[in-house]
């Protein structure tokens, strides 16, 4: 069975879908993922994904790519009309995906063959959203819904080289990453000056701790400000790396302090404990999966609002999280010795 999985477009969603790829591969399918180019290096870290096709900006090119592969079925993970339209246009005979129930999906359902009714998901973690889809396909569920990515020794050696290039000392002392970005919008970002405070106070509490400021290309300005305000002693790493390189670096951390973000889910899948800061999004849906993480959430009356910018302008859901709270949780994780869990 040649199966193409239409992958989500977000880094975090791609990580959370890893158990689906694993379940499909275990069932005997030859799994190909169709994804945006920036996700290819991430998907290459998942052994259950045999090949990756590019989802081109041109729909015609994408459809031609799908037609030429002779797929028996498509598994459509995103909920958009376009993600279902592409395999329909490519005449893939079986097209699994969620449809039905919501009026806005009335045009999507006819493109699916068969269409699986989307379950009610309130209060359920996003990582298990596809369990009804697998059940409809008669695919046994994965051992659990915790995403796991294991890095090879070659990838780990690359990570050590990257850290050495950034002048991070080779030491058994804990290595802590700070990630101040969030792709969704400014409402998910804890004020960058608070990350400066965490770096300063954590070093006072644990002088042996090594710190790096983690960033993608879009977070570079945040990372540079934190780097400058902390005396330029904590290097910035990540803006020049693809997601595979970023995963390699995250895999070397002992802890990541992060907003609700793609790197949060990526670090968690690598077995790296996170102190995760939530405000406008729902931690019951998108918290990092696993037992070693600490989630800070104020649960204000207006949260979660899921807005890209605070509609009330005060941004209290994030601003009410204090530096001392974060440092306390981070120090507790580092003191527990619980460095590794999944993915190691």
Give the model confidence (pLDDT) of 301-326 as tens digits: 888 888 888 888 888 899 999 999 99
Average pLDDT, rounded, for the chain = 91
pLDDT interval class at 343 (50, 70, 90):
very low
pLDDT interval class at 190 (50, 70, 90):
very high
Q: Where are the domains of the chain?
A: 2-136, 153-336
* C-alpha dist (Å) from residue 221 to 212, 227, 239, 281: 15, 10, 10, 24
Q: Higher model confidence: residue 280 or residue 169?
A: 280
Q: How far apart are CA 113 and CA 287, in angstroms?
A: 32
Q: Which of 57, 53, 41 is nearest to 92 (CA)?
A: 53
Question: Same topology for domains 2-136 and 153-336, yes or no?
Answer: yes
pLDDT of 342 reads 37
Average pLDDT over residues 14-40: 96
Q: Higher model confidence: residue 133 or residue 184?
A: 133
> Which of 115-124, 272-281, 309-318 is modeled with the greatest confidence?
272-281
β-bridge partners, 258 = 179, 276
Under a CB-based contact definition with an 8 Å cutoff, are residues 54 and 68 in contact? no
Alpha-carbon dihedral sign for residues 186, 187, 188, 189: positive
Average pLDDT over residues 277-282: 93
Alpha-helix runs per DSSP H in 141-291: 153-165, 192-205, 220-229, 243-250, 262-269, 283-286
pLDDT of 341 reads 37
**Candidate CATH numbers 3.40.50.2000, 3.40.50.360, 3.90.850.10, 3.40.50.300; the one for domain 153-336:** 3.40.50.2000
Alpha-helix runs per DSSP H in 30-152: 40-43, 59-67, 81-89, 131-136
Domain 2-136, CATH homologous superfamily name and number? Glycogen Phosphorylase B; (3.40.50.2000)
Residue by residue, DSSP assigns 217-259 as: GGGHHHHHHHHHHTTT-S-EE-TT--HHHHHHHHTT-SEEEEE
pLDDT interval class at 105 (50, 70, 90):
low
pLDDT of 91 reads 95
Average pLDDT over residues 113-136: 88
Calculate what percentage of the chain has a pLDDT beyond 90: 75
pLDDT interval class at 340 (50, 70, 90):
very low
């Amino acid at each position: 069975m040649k199966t193409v999985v239409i992958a989500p477009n977000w880094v975090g969603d791609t990580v959370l879908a890893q158990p689906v790829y694993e379940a499909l591969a275990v069932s005997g399918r030859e799994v190909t993922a169709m994804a945006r180019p920036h996700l290819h290096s991430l998907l290459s870290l998942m052994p259950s994904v045999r090949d990756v096709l590019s989802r081109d900006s041109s729909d015609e090119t994408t459809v031609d790519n799908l037609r030429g592969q002779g797929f028996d079925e498509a598994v459509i993970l995103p909920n958009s009309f376009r993600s279902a339209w592409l395999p329909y246009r490519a005449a893939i005979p079986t097209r699994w995906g969620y449809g039905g129930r919501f009026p806005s999906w009335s045009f999507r359902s006819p493109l699916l063959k068969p269409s699986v009714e989307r379950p009610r998901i309130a209060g359920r973690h996003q990582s298990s959203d596809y369990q009804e889809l697998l059940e409809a396909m008669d695919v046994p569920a994965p051992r659990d819904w915790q995403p796991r990515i294991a890095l090879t020794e070659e990838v780990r050696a690359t990570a050590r080289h990257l850290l050495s290039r950034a002048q991070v000392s080779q030491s058994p002392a804990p290595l802590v990453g700070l990630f101040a970005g969030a792709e969704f919008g400014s409402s998910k970002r804890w004020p960058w000056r608070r990350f400066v405070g965490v770096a300063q106070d954590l070093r006072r509490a644990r002088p042996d701790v090594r710190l790096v400021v983690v960033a993608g290309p879009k977070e570079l300005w945040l990372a540079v400000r934190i780097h400058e305000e902390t005396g330029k002693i904590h290097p910035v790493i990540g803006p020049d790396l693809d997601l595979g390189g970023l995963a390699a670096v995250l895999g070397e951390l002992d802890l990541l302090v992060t907003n609700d973000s793609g790197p949060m889910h990526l670090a968690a899948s690598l077995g790296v404990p996170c102190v995760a800061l939530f405000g406008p999004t729902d931690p019951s849906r998108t918290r990092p999966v696993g037992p070693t993480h600490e989630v800070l959430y104020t649960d204000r009356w207006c949260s979660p609002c899921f807005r890209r910018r605070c509609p009330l302008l005060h941004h209290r859901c994030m601003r009410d999280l204090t530096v001392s709270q974060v440092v306390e949780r981070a120090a507790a994780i580092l003191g527990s010795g619980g460095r590794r869990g999944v993915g190691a």
